[in-house]
Structure 1
Amino acid sequence: MNSQHTDIAIIGAGPAGATMAALLADRGWHVTVLERSHFPRFAVGESLLPRCMDALDAAGMLHVVEDAGYQIKRGVTFTENDHDTSFTFDDQFTPGWSWTWQVLRADFDHRLALEAERRGATLRFGQTVESVDFTTPGAPRLAVVADDGTRTDLAARFVCDASGAARVLPRLLSLDRPGSAPSRGALFTHVTDRIDAPDYQRDRIVIGIHPEQPDVWYWLIGLAGGRASVGMIGPPEWIHGADGTPAERLRHFVGQEPRLARLLASADFDSRVGQTENYAYDIATLHGPDYALLGNAAGFVDPIFSSGVTIALESALRAVDPVDTQLRGAAVDWDAQFEAPIRAGQRVFTSFIGAWYRGALKHVLFNPAPDPAIRTMLSSILAGYVWDTDNPYVARPERRLDTLCRLCAPSS
């Protein structure tokens, strides 16, 4: 058993962990990042939101991805039964970025991690955190095992969990709590898309709704180099209802959505198809005496509005000052400075996710005569500006959205 010391241990080297590591290293702290996998590694969640650009810029990370050659993203197109509606980010309520990127996450995450290392953080890959002991205030200890079996007792002063869906601390500390979202499953992959259609705008993510199963939806995210991320979400029993391998089932279901079937008619499904189920979860608290949960480790509901990287970066930015202040010996109001704003952003996304799965939101999105002012407010939500409380759909998301959905509902 090796014994090591650090100021801050960060579990996970994804966008939240890398950003947090870089910013804390900038302030002179000894930061150790423990990542279970080896980078670069495959990940979905390729569709960023414009709010991510603000966060990357604020973290001094924007320059490390500017020359990556990622596909520009300027909006989103929703499609159902060959009827489309589009929202563009240059028409939004909140001042901010009018574009972002659709990234290859393996490359994007790796670049951010290397930047954290360049700025002074220690990155250790192939490391699994088996247990954490918070018995002694201000001195948590982590039991870590490497891929080669080497075991380390890591003493820290603070722990940040940026482990995503692995949610290491919530599982070790029993912080998981039942989520309210129904069980759903996903199939996903990367393809060589070979799309040659004049009506396809590669700078917009395409969200398709199944023509007969409204709680089943698809994504098509154009990537650079003729590649695309393709996936679908639906009830697990429905996804497993078709015969064949995951790849065969995904192609079968894609063929049932008219527009995606045409766009991907010549696509080469040349990568492994991944699948997951019951991916939604909630967390009882986002912080404790010597720890904080970042990004998806702090809770996740659904990928429909591409909120993952946005929440990850935002949580890292908002946790830096409290961690720095606490380690310097001053009092911190973690609820006000960190948990409340992160919960508020999650709440906005969750409100829209709920309206999507109730089938009510699509009547708003496909409204043939939308109010231009309201449309700009919705565009800002789709752009990730869910902390702008000047936007009525941020300030009171449930009440405002419920009213809007009722007004846009078709007459009986």
Structure 2
Amino acid sequence: MHTTTQAIEKHEHVDVAIIGAGPSGAVAAALLQRAGRNVLVLERQHFPRFSIGESLLPQSMAYLEAAGMLQAVVEAGFQYKNGAYFVHQDKHASFDFRDKHSAGWGTTYQVERAVFDQTLIKSAAEQGADVRFGHTVRTMQPGDAPVLEVEDEAGNAYVVHARFVLDASGFGRVLPRLLNLEAPTRMPTRAALFTHVRDALPAGSTDRDKICIAVHPERRDVWYWMIPLANGRSSVGCVAEASFLDVPEAEREATLRKLIQAEPNIAALIGDAPFLMPVRQIGGYAANVERLYGPGYALLGNAGEFLDPVFSSGVTIALRSADLATRVLVRQLNGETVDWLADYDKPLRKGVDTFRAFVDRWYSGELQDIIFHPRHSPGIRRMISAILAGYAWDETNPFVVNPVRRLNTLHEVCRREIG
């Protein structure tokens, strides 16, 4: 897609232009600034703004630390998190992420994304990134010297000449749309209904340090999340095939309330707690592209691929992509010859494929059989815990090296023992 640069008088030059100020964009901006690069971040919206994806994974903490953002996140007052617990009827299974196969962080936070995202991009700006809110990328001309046409809210257009462009636009998927990069996702079309509640949970009624994942009593492909947040709030939602949640906007609140009442564990925790915001719906969120890079650009996080919210992998994949891409990009900007396929695309997809194997088997019921199995060896539990904690790239874990074969084998063992 070509720009109309001849009609626009204002031209700017930067090392790297980043589309989107969410977590991947903020972390990439900070990492590049710390490497001495000139960075411009273009964000269509204004912050703070609501976003979904509130339960972080411990793997994320290493990237926040590398980007110089750890202190700001720690001091923001978010809800501490050390694991996840799963419930289905009378079955319970809990995973403490500190007890895991992989080395690294075992704790993290459950966050209101409006505050979290603003904290990250504020830190990136404080480290020198030029961050512009209310600026929309209209066109992109890829190549060795990519060119962006940008428009601010007043309708003023200008051209940005960059040595490289990173698309961190998340579900906005700016470059996949502008450059026709979309590919079949391989994931079924699912949707979510969700809101925040004033939970007023009595002490000891639940472990606020863990996300709760509950399975519908009759439909194993329908599941709920409850994410305790700071200040007595919780995020609660239900995920299912899109047709199951296809209701008019006026019926969303009643539908979610009825679904909550249908699952006894979530009902006991949420009950009739008031919803603190209108029930929202997101659908068709799974996305994919053929390649995560092209001439003069790379796609970060959800702009490239998004799987499913069940294991809270979205932010971790986003931050991992920012870390990997900036490592390659700094080398390229320093004059080295780099291989984006070998050094970025394939390594990032390795972890995504690990998560995908777990997601696929969650919806088929096989992973649920594994998680709720009453007798796991400590070693197996620690390997699974590591994946659930976000360490989907740790090749010392057999469930990363060959997740499909390992999960299939483990499920067969569990099935025989249960049978």
Q: Please give the TM-score of this superposition, normalised by the length of structure 2.
A: 0.95
Amino acid at match of 2:34: D
Find the residue that maps to 2:123 and give its secondary structure.
helix
Q: Which residue of 1 aligns with 2:100?
A: 92
Aligned to 1:378: 384
User: Are residue 334 (structure 1) and residue 337 (structure 2) matched?
Assistant: no
Q: How does 1:183-332 map to 2 (within 5 A)?
A: 183-196=189-202, 198-240=204-246, 244-332=250-338
- 2:74 is matched with 66
- Whole-Å Cα distance in 2 between the matches of residues 213 and 266 of structure 1? 23
- Structure 1 residue 358 and structure 2 residue 361: aligned? no
**Secondary structure at 1:177 match in 2:** coil
Q: Specify the code of the residue in structure 2 equivalent to 1:337.
A: D
The answer on 1:119 being equivalent to 2:117 is no
Of 156, 159, 171, 2:162 maps to 156
Q: Contact between 2:135 and 2:153, CA under 8 Å: does it hold in 1?
A: yes
Deviations 1:336-380 (A, max 9, x none): 221111010101000000000111110100001112110110000
CA shift in 2, pair 1:241/1:155, >3 Å: closer
CA distance in 2, matches of 1:13, 1:217: 30
Residue of structure 2 equivalent to 1:104: 112
Tell me the secondary structure at the aligned position of residue 224 of structure 2: strand
Distance 2:252 2:241 in 1: 15
- Number of aligned residues: 410
Report deviation, 1:178: 0.8
Contact 2:139 2:178 in 1 (8 A): yes
- Give unmatched runs, 5+ long, in structure 2: 1-7
The CA deviation at 1:138 is: 2.3
Aligned AA (2:206): Y
Q: Find the counterpart in structure 2 of residue 44 from structure 1.
A: 52
Q: Which moved more, 1:95-104 or 1:188-197?
A: 188-197
Call closer, same or farther: CA 1:3–1:242 in 2, change over 3 Å.
closer
Offset from partner CA, 1:105-138 (integer Å, 9 cap, x none): 111110110111111110000111111012xx42
**Shift of the alpha carbon at 1:278?**
1.1
Letter of the 2:97 counterpart? F
Q: Is 2:87 aligned against 1:75?
A: no
**Change in 2 beyond 3 A, CA 1:242/1:24:** closer
Q: In structure 1, what is the equivalent of residue 351 of structure 2?
A: 345
In structure 2, C-alpha distance between the alignment counterparts of 1:138 and 1:372, rounded to whole Å: 51
Q: 1:110 and 1:244 mapped to 2: Cα distance?
A: 31
Select the residue among 8, 11, 18 that pairs with 2:26: 18
The CA distance in 2 between the partners of 1:243 and 1:50, in whole Å, is 35
Distance, in Å, in 1 between the alignment partners of 2:20 and 2:357 is 28
Contact 1:195 1:266 survives alignment (8 Å)? no
Contact kept, 8 Å, 1:283 with 1:298, in 2: the verdict is yes
Structure 1 CA distance for aligned equivalents of residues 51 and 280 of structure 2 = 10
Match of 1:27 among 31, 35, 46: 35
| Correspondence 1:172 to 2:178 | yes
Identify the range of structure 1 (74-83 vs 348-357) with the bigger mean alpha-carbon deviation.
74-83
User: Residues 197 and 251 (structure 1 numbering): CA distance in 2 closer, same or farther, change over 3 Å?
Assistant: farther
Cα distance change on mapping 1:120 and 1:241 into 2, 3 Å: closer
Structure 1 residue runs of 5 or longer lacking an equivalent are none
Q: 1:407 to 1:242 in 2, by over 3 A?
A: farther
Q: Give yes or no for contact 2:287–2:304 (8 Å, CA) kept in 1.
A: no
Aligned to 2:285, what secondary structure does the other structure show?
Answer: coil
- Alignment-mate amino acid for residue 197 of structure 2: V
SS at match of 2:337: coil
Deviations 1:37-84 (A, max 9, x none): 101111111101110111211222111111111111111010111321
C-alpha distance in 1, partners of 2:290/2:309? 21
Letter in 2 for 1:48: L
**Percent of paired sites with the same residue:** 48
After superposition, the CA RMSD in angstroms is 1.5
